[in-house]
């Protein structure tokens, strides 16, 4: 049963050795190598970015135009509880993409059943249901959907999830109050309207 | 009129036989779901299409991949040994696939995941 781990370990060691060798030659080990060699992750990510077909409510910004692996994302829902708030996220994609899912974190402290107070997002396709045939588009659509239909099952913010299940009017009020920047149940939330 | 052939060039094309168009004539332009490169091209780690970068034909399902692409996925424990397209357990048919290092390694990974499943070390949904 340890076969996989052993094989993987061997592979990782080889990868580390070759990465170290490259780092020695180029003097750095950044994801975009200086000798113009495009990595598989880069190749796939470029395709994903060119094929993006996302609603207007989602905007991507690349703080460093030569780095496709790290960018920012903002979502401005046009309907639902979170209508017209603007939520900022950071997206971090590693060199093992698409074997590893993108890592997405909310930069605002928000009141949402599926996002905890540190900005961690609970979205199945970013975790246990990730598959390399999913692309950036499906991830962004999934994230957008969390704001249209917050999901009280499998919550990260249990208090918010409980309120959503028990009292939808109170949930809507809490969301509005939190989006204006203020306290909900002794917790301070960022202003995002 | 008499024609003398002084020179001629033979031209041939090839395509992979895919599980999904097996038995059907003609060519279906399909992409490897993992790297999104056409099957007749190579995976991102290879230079030459063809025998250097073979396809694997799934047996449990009808999904094809560059063997190098599915290997990378099955190396991940998170893959749970499942097909990335349909999430059924991924198995290839040794009868239908060439004997080579890659396919031996694929078999090892499939077996590894099967053992993990049997030991119930990870939770698998069926
Ligand atoms: Zn491929
Ligand atoms: Zn290959
Ligand atoms: Zn399949």
Q: Residue A22 — pLDDT band, cuts 50, 70, 90?
A: very low
Total domains in the fold of chain B: 1
Residue B22 in any domain: the answer is no
The alpha carbon of A1 and the centre of ligand 2 are apart by a number of angstroms equal to 26
Does A116 fall in a domain? yes
pLDDT at B50 over 70: yes
Is residue B13 included in any domain, yes or no?
no
- The CA R_g of chain A, rounded to the nearest whole Å, is 20
Q: Does B121 sit within 8 Å of A99, measured CB to CB? A: no
- Residue A122 among the catalytic residues: yes
Which one has a higher pLDDT value, A79 or A32? Answer: A79
CA distance B81 to A33: 32
pLDDT at A8: 58
- Mean pLDDT across the stretch B23-28? 47
CATH number, domain at B112? 3.30.40.10
Residue A56 has pLDDT above 60, yes or no: yes
Q: Check if the interface score ipTM surpasses 0.90.
A: no
- Residues of A within 8 A of B121 (CB-CB) are 1
Given A4, A47, A132, which is nearest B84 (Cβ)? A132
Local confidence band at A32 (pLDDT 50, 70, 90 cut-offs): very low
B111: closest CA of chain A, how far (Å)? 8
**HSE on the CB side for A108, CA within 13 Å?**
22
What is the rounded CA–CA span in Å between residue A100 and residue B67? 18
Q: Is residue A24 part of a domain?
A: no
Domain count, chain A: 1
| Domain membership flag for residue A17 | no
Secondary structure of B19-45 in HEC code, one letter for each residue: HHHCCCCCCCCCECCCCCCECCCCCCC
B44/A40 touch (CB, cutoff 8 Å), yes or no: yes
Q: Which residue of chain B has the CA closest to A96?
A: B72
Tell me what percent of the residues of chain B surpass a pLDDT of 70. 87
Domain interval for residue A132: 36-188
Is residue A14, in this structure, part of any structural domain at all?
no
Q: Read off the pLDDT of residues B95-106 as tens digits, 9 standing for 90 and up.
A: 777 778 899 999
Question: With pLDDT > 70 as the criterion, what percentage of chain A qualifies?
Answer: 81
Average pLDDT over residues B86-100: 85
- B94 CB contacts (<8 Å, ≥6 apart)? B103, B107
In a domain, A173, yes or no: yes
Name the catalytic one among A122, A125, A134, A141.
A122
Tell me the average pLDDT across A15-41.
56
Task: For residue A12, name the pLDDT band (cuts at 50, 70, 90).
Answer: low
Chain B environment of A47 (Cβ under 8 Å): 36
Q: Does B38 touch chain A (CB under 8 A)?
A: no
Instruction: Examine residue A30 and state whether it is found in any structural domain, yes or no.
Output: no
- Give the confidence band of A38 by pLDDT, cuts at 50, 70, 90: confident
Q: Whose atoms come closest to the Cα of A98: which ligand?
A: 1
> Which CATH number do you get for residue A184?
3.10.110.10
Residue bearing the bigger pLDDT, A16 or B61: B61
| A182 domain-assigned | yes
Pair of tokens at residue B84: 């990335």
A107 within domain boundaries: yes
Q: Report chain B residues whose CB lies below 8 A from the CB of A99.
A: 72-73, 75-76
Domain residues for the domain of B52 are 27-118
pLDDT category of residue B120 using cuts at 50, 70 and 90: confident
Would the CB atoms of A99 and B73 count as touching at under 8 Å?
A: yes
Q: What is the pLDDT of residue A44?
A: 95
């Amino acid at each position: 049963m340890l076969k996989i781990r052993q094989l993987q370990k061997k592979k990782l060691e080889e990868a580390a050795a070759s990465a170290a060798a490259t780092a020695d030659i180029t003097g750095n080990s950044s994801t975009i190598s200086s000798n113009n060699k495009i990595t598989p992750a880069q190749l796939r990510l470029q395709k994903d970015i060119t094929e993006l077909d996302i609603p207007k409510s989602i905007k991507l910004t690349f703080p460093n135009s030569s780095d496709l692996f790290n960018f920012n994302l903002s979502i401005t829902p046009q309907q639902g509880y979170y209508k017209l708030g603007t939520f900022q996220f950071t997206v971090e994609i590693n060199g093992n993409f698409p074997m590893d899912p993108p890592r997405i974190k909310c930069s605002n402290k928000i009141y949402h059943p599926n996002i905890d107070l540190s900005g961690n997002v609970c979205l199945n396709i970013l975790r246990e249901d990730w598959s390399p045939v999913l692309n950036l588009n499906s991830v962004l659509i999934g994230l957008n959907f969390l704001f249209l239909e917050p999901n009280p099952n499998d919550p990260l913010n249990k208090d918010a999830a409980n309120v959503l299940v028990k009292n939808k009017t109170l949930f809507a009020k809490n969301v509005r109050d939190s989006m204006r920047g203020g306290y909900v149940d002794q917790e301070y939330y960022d202003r995002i309207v | 009129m008499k024609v003398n052939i002084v020179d001629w060039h033979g031209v041939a094309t090839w395509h992979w036989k895919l599980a999904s168009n097996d038995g059907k004539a003609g060519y279906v332009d399909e992409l490897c779901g993992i790297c999104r490169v056409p099957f007749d091209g190579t995976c991102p780690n290879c230079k030459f299409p063809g025998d250097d970068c073979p396809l694997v034909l799934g047996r449990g399902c009808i999904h094809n991949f560059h063997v190098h692409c599915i290997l990378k996925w099955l190396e991940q424990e998170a893959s749970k040994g499942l097909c990335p397209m349909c999430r059924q357990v991924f198995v290839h048919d040794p009868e239908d696939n060439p004997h080579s290092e890659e396919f031996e390694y694929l078999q090892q990974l499939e077996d590894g995941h099967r053992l993990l499943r049997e030991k119930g070390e990870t939770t698998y949904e069926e």
